[in-house]
Structure 1
Amino acid sequence: MIHFPLLLLLSLVGCDGYKFLVYSPIFGYSHTNFMGAIADTLTEAGHDVTLLMPIMDTEQEKKTGVKLTKKIVKVPGDPRVIEMMRYEGEILKQIWTMEPSIFALMQIATNMTKSFTFQCEKVFSDEALMKQLEDEKFDVGIAEAFSICGLGEYPSQGIFDLIKIPASIVTFSGVHMEAIAAAIGEPIAPSYVPGAIAREGDRMSFVGRVKNVIDVVLDRKFFTNIFESEISAFRRRFGPQFKGYEELFVDASYVVTNSNPYLDYPRPMLHKTVPIGGIAVSIDPKKNKLSAEWDALLNERNTTVLVSFGSIAKSIYMPHKYMYANGVEEYPP
């Protein structure tokens, strides 16, 4: 019995959480919300989490996506980025009435590529910020692959390398991204797996498969343009030896996606890819309590259908003639 208290005392080993740096540019609320959910989940588990948030869209500056994580470092937006985001905002106001145009789409894609590159330069050129983050001695860096600016792990390259973070995790707030899959050696099968921006399901005709291949190629090209532009910015600053974006993805320990394996289409995956779809959805009744205004609105009828168009097609700019669509009229209250 004498040894029991001693054994009990020896079993009380202190456990320290890891230090995480989550790189989350403010440019789209769904992306910010997803990264914020990851940060809060880690914080709730007892880890030390810091959020690094370059401000690309000043209208969303206060939307951090976090409730529990308190350490937030915001980086002011590059003036060129702010102007481009303003231009893009004016274009999106017309999205309900504008005619489909490949040229307008290409202009938006070009602006996004430049925006992420300029903002990346703004971050890694801030030597005081880089020194501040390096002194924190983070264990793991997490960044979304909409931009590769935050990726890299010591002694690789990237912002996480500049501040000597030894491990990195890639995330994406959508489903599986073809650009990442190709980089890490994960199979891409457009003949039977719908792409991320596919217009059809997994039962495709020959024409449907051709369209799916085109969608996969275009989606991959959109993201690789952003990645290559940012890599060029790093190489201009730090030299031509800077790794390509493919190697940054390969060096990452995991690729975490917002895909739900129960709802998504079956596809071949590596063990490196971890789907965590639904992490941003709260199932806690206390957290999901509605405000008095919404509670009263939803109690006016037995059934209410809420239609959301996301952050691209904002309903505030919807013409009145669209507000009572024929499809909705077919379902009387």
Structure 2
Amino acid sequence: MAGERKLCIFLFITLQFPLLQTAKILTICFIGGSHYLLLDEISRILHNNGHDVRMFLQFGEGMLPGYKLPPSPYPVSTYSLDEKYLKEYKEHFIENQKEFLVGRRGLQSILTFLGELSYQCNVTLHQSDILKFLKNEQFDIAIVDAFNPCTFLVSEKLGIPYIAFFPGIFGNALRVGIPTPLSYVPLFQSQLTDRMDFFGRLKNTVTFFVSHIIGKKIDSIFDNVIEEHFPAGSRPSIADLHLKAELWLYNVDFTIEFARPLLPHVQYIGGLLAKPAKPLSQELEDFITESGESGFIVVTLGSMLSSIPLVEFVKEMNAGLAKIPQKVIWRYQTSHWPEEVALAPNVKIVDWLPQNDLLGHPKVRLLVTHGGMNSLMEAVYHGVPVLGIPLFGDQYENMVRIKAKNMGTSIPPEQLKSENFAQTILEIIQNKSYKTSAMKLSAIRKSLPFPPDQQLLRWVEHIVQTGGGGHLHPYSYQQPWYQQCLLDVILFVTVCLTVTVYLIVTLFRVLIQKICSSGKQKQN
């Protein structure tokens, strides 16, 4: 009897979750840093669950300063850009970092960066041998880094259906057609929360119209690439390629993001890199032990920022850290530490640090971060308060959400001085409300019905099994914009009301004239 019951349960589970044959999956990553870490994790998850995975990778070595890439369990097709160009690009990137550190972060810097991506895309699409090889592999699906428009173009060139993975918050919601009520869903770059007053809603509305203009400007940066590599009559647009994705996956969840409506083919899988902590090296453990009851803090400004190009900024940070009782583990490339700055006695600098494992240590008190989504998701997972020093991109928006959730606060880099840096660190550590909020968010995060790796795996397999995500796409993708906004209906109703009012007014005017004329005839 017990055996029959087990057999029934097994058959039920098998019918509920039919086995999927090995799928051939291509992951596409053309940016280093956290983008590579995420796409690598996605590739490993799919590979470890029996799928045939290959990554198309651009930069190769040097994508993560100070980090030693572990052996890849899946094959990688990679190439490098011209060394002269890479040198110039690195110098340009450092100059941009300097601008961000002094508070200059206008639209032009974003457009310039996307211009570099467009140039790199042109080089990528000229890699005829690799592209021919990948096309002949006949992949079932591609998973692309949706931050870089070039990944869409490469998938289109290869003729592979694709799933778009976006490495942050719903910053491109308007482009994906996600419902975005402006009264309570703050748009990207508005730096608003979901609780907007009148002027907040006004700002959000203005941002809505500006976003459309900026979106068209960004798309036009890739026009020359499209014209060169796609024949006339079948040239895609970046906007259409966004809507063509079978599925959209976002590296966020609602522990950080504000609650908002989503479409069926839009899923969130934030926190792929956040995991139970592993033991630290003996060197780091010995350093932490010296902290006593004060504990330690982790300082890192992103996977791509291995050092800080402004000495004055380093001096202020270092002086501020010297004023706190906690030990400090700071990711900073040791060979680039400025000789004129004496390292604070409570600070240890390392070329690379195991951030997730440090945040899972019982003596950690705070994470000082640039506000990248991976760092914030790891902090949420382990219940660690955050002090943000946002530099560019989505980092300011991310920190708005952290502040709204009372998990931490931020200091704009141009306002960072040793005194306010130290005082803010101590305020977050000593004010227990930040830790309480962080632990509450951690509990929410850990109690989600499915972990992000399982969400990723199930959704990818679902798309492959069903031959695409068309059944999840709304009909609005096929409607012109004026129908989506009901402008035709509004115009029709307006015309009907106008005609009706006109007829009523005309009728009353005729009646009044007749009444007046009959009255005059009686008097005569």
Range class of TM-score, shorter chain = 0.7 to 0.9
- Identify which range, 38-47 or 257-266, moves more after superposition: 257-266
Who is 2:288 aligned against? 298
Partner of 1:290, secondary structure, is coil
- Give the Å deviation of 1:68: 5.1
Who is 2:146 aligned against? 145
Who is 1:245 aligned against? 238
Give distance in 2, aligned partners of 1:200 and 1:223: 20
Name the aligned partner's letter for residue 291 of structure 1: S
Who is 1:161 aligned against? 156
Who is 1:254 aligned against? 247
Structure 1 residues 232 and 214: alpha-carbon distance in aligned structure 2, compared to 1, 3 A threshold: farther
C-alpha contact 2:47 2:74 (8 A) present in aligned 1: no
- Give the Å deviation of 1:332: 8.1
Give distance in 1, aligned partners of 2:428 and 2:268: 36
Name the aligned partner's letter for residue 118 of structure 1: Y
- Give the Å deviation of 1:236: 2.6
C-alpha contact 2:65 2:303 (8 A) present in aligned 1: no
Who is 1:322 aligned against? 317
Residue by residue over 1:78-132, the C-alpha shift from the partner in whole angstroms, topping out at 9 and shown as x without a partner, is: 5546523421213314543x2x34xx63442232111111111111112111111
Question: Counterparts in 2 of 1:111-150, with a 5 A limit?
Answer: 111-150=112-151
Give distance in 1, aligned partners of 2:216 and 2:262: 20
Who is 1:202 aligned against? 194
Give distance in 2, aligned partners of 1:215 and 1:314: 33
Partner of 2:287, secondary structure, is helix
Give distance in 1, aligned partners of 2:245 and 2:259: 24
Name the aligned partner's letter for residue 168 of structure 1: Y
C-alpha contact 2:142 2:162 (8 A) present in aligned 1: yes
Give distance in 1, aligned partners of 2:70 and 2:267: 22
Structure 1 residues 205 and 332: alpha-carbon distance in aligned structure 2, compared to 1, 3 A threshold: closer
Residue by residue over 1:221-273, the C-alpha shift from the partner in whole angstroms, topping out at 9 and shown as x without a partner, is: 65654443224312233234312122212221100001213442111110110
Give distance in 2, aligned partners of 1:16 and 1:319: 53
- Give the Å deviation of 1:313: 6.7
Question: Counterparts in 2 of 1:166-205, with a 5 A limit?
Answer: 167-178=161-172, 181-205=173-197
Give distance in 2, aligned partners of 1:129 and 1:223: 30
Who is 2:28 aligned against? 23
**What number of residue pairs does the alignment pair up?**
305
C-alpha contact 1:113 1:225 (8 A) present in aligned 2: no
Give distance in 1, aligned partners of 2:60 and 2:95: 16
Name the aligned partner's letter for residue 116 of structure 1: L
- Give the Å deviation of 1:220: 6.3
Who is 2:76 aligned against? 72
Structure 1 residues 262 and 163: alpha-carbon distance in aligned structure 2, compared to 1, 3 A threshold: same
- Give the Å deviation of 1:301: 2.8
Partner of 1:281, secondary structure, is coil
Residue by residue over 1:133-186, the C-alpha shift from the partner in whole angstroms, topping out at 9 and shown as x without a partner, is: 1122211111122122222xxxxxx32233232x210111101123xx333422
C-alpha contact 1:24 1:53 (8 A) present in aligned 2: yes
Structure 1 residues 184 and 316: alpha-carbon distance in aligned structure 2, compared to 1, 3 A threshold: closer
Structure 1 residues 177 and 77: alpha-carbon distance in aligned structure 2, compared to 1, 3 A threshold: same
Give distance in 2, aligned partners of 1:136 and 1:14: 23
Give distance in 1, aligned partners of 2:116 and 2:68: 19
Structure 1 residues 38 and 332: alpha-carbon distance in aligned structure 2, compared to 1, 3 A threshold: closer
Larger Rg: 2
TM-score w.r.t. the length of structure 1 is: 0.78
| Residue 281 (structure 1) aligned with residue 274 (structure 2) | yes
Partner of 2:93, secondary structure, is helix
Residue by residue over 1:286-327, the C-alpha shift from the partner in whole angstroms, topping out at 9 and shown as x without a partner, is: xx3322222223332333232433357766443322331232
| CA RMSD in angstroms, aligned pairs only | 3.2
Greater helix content: 2
Gaps of 5+ in 1: 1-10, 152-157
C-alpha contact 2:144 2:163 (8 A) present in aligned 1: yes
Structure 1 residues 307 and 64: alpha-carbon distance in aligned structure 2, compared to 1, 3 A threshold: closer
C-alpha contact 2:23 2:52 (8 A) present in aligned 1: yes
